[in-house]
């Protein structure tokens, strides 16, 4: 900290933060992967060999609109009536295990879906 303040006092350039890992992704790749293929920021960063923070900053810089995190659960492909019937027959824990999700995920999803109705 003292070294940085000393350099600032001498009007020397001070580098802050961690150095970036990998190259900044190009706009055309981000549009293809994020917008057209609907991949997540984490998937894109793994494909391009950069950090997820770098991908996020590039999306913001290029003006690509970020998706909201609303309802990206794999439970959305099931109808509400199907989920409710499965829970009635097998219980929350048993049906969540069958679907391959945690029981709290199933409860949270149902709470959100029924609230939106």
Q: Is the pLDDT of residue 117 over 60?
A: no
Are 85 and 60 found together in one domain?
A: no
**pLDDT tens column, 59-89:** 999 999 988 765 566 788 888 899 999 999 9
Q: Compute the distance between CA of residue 66 and CA of residue 93 in angstroms, rounded to an integer.
A: 34
**pLDDT tens column, 5-64:** 666 666 666 666 676 677 788 899 999 998 888 888 888 999 988 888 899 999 999 999
Are 53 and 90 found together in one domain?
A: no
User: Which domain range does residue 60 map to?
Assistant: 21-67
Are 55 and 79 found together in one domain?
A: no
Tally the domains of the chain. 2
Residue closest to 86 by CA, chosen among 68, 100, 71, 66: 100
Backbone phi, psi, residue 80, to 5° = -60, -40
pLDDT, position 40: 86
Q: Is residue 6 part of a domain?
A: no
Are 59 and 82 found together in one domain?
A: no
Q: Compute the distance between CA of residue 100 and CA of residue 83 in angstroms, rounded to an integer.
A: 13
Q: How many residues does the chain have?
A: 117
DSSP 26-95: PHHHHIIIIIIS---HHHHHHHHTS-HHHHHHHHHHHTPPPPP-TT--GGGGS-HHHHHHHHHHHHHHHH
For the question of whether the overall pTM of this predicted structure is more than 0.75, the answer is: no
Are 79 and 59 found together in one domain?
A: no
- The residue with greater pLDDT, 104 or 112, is 104
Q: Compute the distance between CA of residue 83 and CA of residue 74 in angstroms, rounded to an integer.
A: 12
Q: Is residue 15 part of a domain?
A: no
């Amino acid at each position: 900290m003292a070294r940085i303040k000393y350099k600032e006092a001498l009007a020397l350039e001070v580098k802050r933060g961690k150095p970036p890992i990998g190259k900044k992704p190009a706009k055309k790749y981000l549009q293809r992967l994020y917008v057209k293929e609907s991949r997540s920021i984490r998937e894109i960063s793994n494909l391009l060999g950069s950090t997820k923070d770098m991908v996020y900053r590039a999306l913001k810089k290029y003006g690509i609109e970020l998706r909201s995190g609303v309802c990206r659960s794999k439970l959305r492909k099931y109808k509400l009536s199907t989920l409710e019937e499965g829970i009635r027959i097998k219980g929350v824990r048993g049906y969540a295990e069958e679907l391959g999700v945690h029981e709290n995920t199933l409860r949270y999803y149902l709470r959100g879906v029924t609230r939106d109705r």
